[in-house]
Amino acid sequence: MSSKCRPKVIAITSGKGGVGKTNVVANLAVSFAMMGKKVFVLDADLGLGNLDILLGLAPRFTLAHVLNGVKKIDDVIVNGPKGIRILPAASGIQELTHLGTEEKVNLFGQIESLGDSIDIMLIDTAAGISQNVLFFNMVSNEIIVVASPEPTSVIDAYALMKVLHLRHGEKRFKLLVNFAKNKSEGLEVYKNLSMVAGRYLNISIDYLGFIPLDENLPKAVREQKAIVEIFPDSKSAKAFNDMAKVVDDFPPSEPKDNIQFFVGRGAGNSAGMQV
């Protein structure tokens, strides 16, 4: 890699579905782009990817074509709002919900080739604790867990962190509370989660903040636009913009033991990939 810093790779993940991951990814990506960053987004919800739909894009090809060797990554990446680049996922292709080692190695090699042209890579994972979800979290420098204030979502967030810790040695997580009514509801979720995690697991959870419940957000979704673009004065858009600044200020992450995008030097080193 060149003398340039390696790109920051951030996974946005959750235990429970429907907590707002894809909207978080889309809006943080556009916010970063508006801050002048070069942003690449990987839609890693390989069974039910819908980031492209959220942003009104109609890609001809998807990650499936990259993985099966039909297309090179540059032919599949599409341009989104504010110059963000997106590698769309297929929707409804069952084989992809479980990536094989060869496919992972291939993906690593191709993403590595983008290294010099991006500052930040965001990964929109599927929900749950499937092999693929665990994999995309492991290969990221930072893991942002999204939870809503619903107890089911909080419990599932805990379960995901627990599996990532016990099985894969992950120790550091950031928590984003979406759909919070106000600041104290967000903080409450954080306190509960960090208390239980502190008692039963040897992990640290940093609180990234909350995105408020915002009736304008579903409107933006229906318009297939990022809310930071079409309703920049709405409360969630302001929260996304503030959060992008916080994320940008993260100190460089300590290296993890396992292989990571832009750290493992791609396919040449992928033999050590334990997933």
Ligand X SMILES: Nc1ncnc2c1ncn2[C@@H]1O[C@H](COP(=O)(O)OP(=O)(O)O)[C@@H](O)[C@H]1O
Does 149 help bind ligand X (rule: CB under 6 A)?
no
Q: Judged by CB under 6 A, which of 93, 159, 187, 213 binds ligand X?
A: 213
Q: Judged by CB under 6 A, which of 178, 234, 241, 270 binds ligand X?
A: 178
Instruction: Between 91 and 269, name the residue whose CB sits nearer to Mg ion.
Output: 91
Q: Judged by CB under 6 A, which of 20, 88, 186, 209 binds ligand X?
A: 20
CB of 18 to Mg ion, least distance (A): 8
* Cα 94 versus chain centre, distance: 21
H helix or E strand, kind and range, residue 200: helix 183-200
Neighbours of 23 (CB within 10 A): 24
Does 217 help bind ligand X (rule: CB under 6 A)?
yes
Does 23 help bind ligand X (rule: CB under 6 A)?
yes
Does 214 help bind ligand X (rule: CB under 6 A)?
yes
Q: Judged by CB under 6 A, which of 14, 141, 241, 270 binds ligand X?
A: 14
Q: Directed axis angle between helix 183-200 and helix 151-168, to 10°?
A: 40
CB of 48 to Mg ion, least distance (A): 7
Instruction: Between 55 and 114, name the residue whose CB sits nearer to ligand X.
Output: 55
CB of 69 to Mg ion, least distance (A): 26
Q: Judged by CB under 6 A, which of 211, 226, 243, 259 binds ligand X?
A: 211
CB of 31 to ligand X, least distance (A): 15
Does 56 help bind ligand X (rule: CB under 6 A)?
no
Q: Which stretches of the chain bind ligand X, using CB under 6 A?
A: 14, 17-23, 178-179, 211, 213-214, 217-218, 221, 236
